[in-house]
Structure 1
Amino acid sequence: MSLHPPIPALERAFEVTAELGPLEDHGMTRVGHRRIIPVIGGTITGIFEGTILAGGADWQTVRADGSIEIDGRYSARSHDGELLYVRARGVRSGDPAVLEALLRGDDVDPESYYFRAALTLESATRPELERSVYIASYIREAHRVRYVAYRVT
């Protein structure tokens, strides 16, 4: 019997390319500077294959230091009609000049900023996807976001 918990590892699970609509800047609200970025389409490949559906969004809160709290929610549909709900909670942070360049839509080396999230998956037809913890590493581009999700073993 082991007296120590298992050491987690990462197993590549899926990749997402999410196409984004124009940023909606709600300004300073009671919780902080609120921005909403619509998800208008995209693809998911790997342990789930399908199309990202329009209608999701990333509800962001910009912190005083310029870092961004990520709260992304969207759905995907597989080629045979299965649905997957994805929720991503994370942080994008970095040097203020780098964050401004990302906001402008400039191409920025993903090594120059931090953009990670914890993912929760829901699926009525693929319950095995709900039994694991996932984390993702992102790249922000002008009109889309790309990430690789890893299952924590």
Structure 2
Amino acid sequence: MKPLFFFCTVCFICIFELSAQTYEVKVITSVESVVPAGLGRSRLIDANETRDYNEFTTTRTDEGKDRNKSDRGEIRLKNFDETKLLNFYNVGGIRFQNIAANDAVIESKINAMLAEGWDLAFVTSAVESDAGQKDGNGIFITRFIFRRPINP
């Protein structure tokens, strides 16, 4: 009976420790151009500064007309890594070599993040594609959300 009690106690402590774990989060964003003729810009963005969302948040109520007075310049940051990627299109159309090259660069970044102790927790993507004759714009955006445990 004592070994079973000891085993259950150890399991409980391990589970409690895992559930009490806190993480820091890092977002890396790739923006890949889907503008015809290769006229767009494609980049991998990694912010080197943090922002506290509370400084830019207003809680709205029925009675209140409070408004956040933050200046855009307070939100904007200038300290980030910008890695060049290739556009999906060139003058001849879709360029599969460019997509493969972008994959290799993004893979390299993910491997570097993993080596630094980050875990890839989520990936989300969206596209705003060229809407036809008069548009000529489009991007494919992917957010890679990493996390790693914060040591107490």
TM-score by length of 1: 0.36
Structure label with greater radius of gyration: 2
Higher relative CO (CA 8 A, sep ≥ 6), structure 1 or 2? Answer: 2
Higher-strand-fraction structure: 1
Higher-helix-fraction structure: 2
